[in-house]
Amino acid sequence: MEKTLEEIASLISGELIGDGSIRIKGIAGIEEAEPGELSFLANPVYRAYLEKTRASAVIVGREIDKAKIPLIRHNNPYYAFCKALEIFTIKKDLPEGIHKSAILGKDVRIGKGVHIGPYVIIGDRVQIEDRVTILAGSFIGDDSVLGEESFLYPRVTIREESLIGKRVILHPGAVIGSDGFGYAREGGVYHKIPQVGKVVLEDDVEIGANTTIDRATLGETRIGKGTKIDNLVQIGHNVSIGENTVLAAQVGISGSTRVGKNVVMGGQVGLGGHIKIGDNVMLGAQAGATKSIPSNTIVSGYPAREHTKAKKIEACITLLPFYVKKIRELEKRIKDLEKKV
């Protein structure tokens, strides 16, 4: 597939500067791009490559207005890159139908345009809406619902009574609705608490590979609309996550914690149980929150503190060896002075 630069600029709503007749055959990173390819510059760190790149054109932000090659200027170059990549990505449509090795329970309802791959197991009374794709080896428990245009990669497990919204993407090994980690201690023994709640994934949620979202003890564990969760994340029972929140790999959220809208969590963030994270909060990588965090706050470190304060503390810790040496020198000088007195 090839497109002219003018066509691409129009499709991604960008401003073209330069020769629009240049033909583009693909997308590549600014360092690796070859003639005939379109690249992008979203991070200022790579601005020096704008003069070195072999790309035929580059998508840039509004702050850049000239270069040795044609440009497509956009308010959000990273988003524009995303849209351009879609143009050159050929999607393979899977055929409608149910593979002969799939096992379906009683009273399963299947919509139009559904693809069910090899060795899929679907429990009783499951509802699968239009244009859902379920790839090999996945399991859908009794009384679950899969919203239209949802896509399940191989080996996804959805336990009973889970509600999956529209256009949800579940990557390989994701587990939705596993038992929450709940035990009552009596007589020196831990007794399992039945986990009888459910999981709700709202529309446009994406769950990474080998991520686990536990079902509620009672009620529901809910992931809000448009939220994106990376690989290897653990979401405990009865957790609620608001809309358009992003969780990077290895985040762990303990039971009954409430996370607001538009929250960003870096890798390996840990949240204690029964706390509240407000809207628009950012938690730096490996931050550990044991208390609630108000909205519109940036935190980092362990325990999680306001980011500016955390950086000052870290700077002081870095200087500790110097201060220890200085204190020892001062102690020695004081002892020497005391001897003279």
Among 74, 115, 171, 237, the active-site one is 237
Q: Is 253 exposed, middle or buried (0-12, 13-18, 19+ CB in 10 A)?
A: buried
Longest alpha-carbon distance in the chain: 97
Strand partners, 170: 152, 207
| Distance (Å, whole) CA 283 – CA 275 | 14
| Distance (Å, whole) CA 59 – CA 80 | 7
Q: What is the DSSP string of 170-196?
A: E-TT-EEEEPP--EEEETTEEEEPP--
237 a catalytic residue:
yes
Strands 282-283 and 298-300: parallel
- The DSSP call for residue 94 is P
| Distance (Å, whole) CA 67 – CA 312 | 40
Strand partners, 201: 164, 223
The DSSP H or E segment spanning 3 is strand 3-4
Nearest to 181 by CA among 231, 240, 254: 254
Catalytic residue ranges: 237
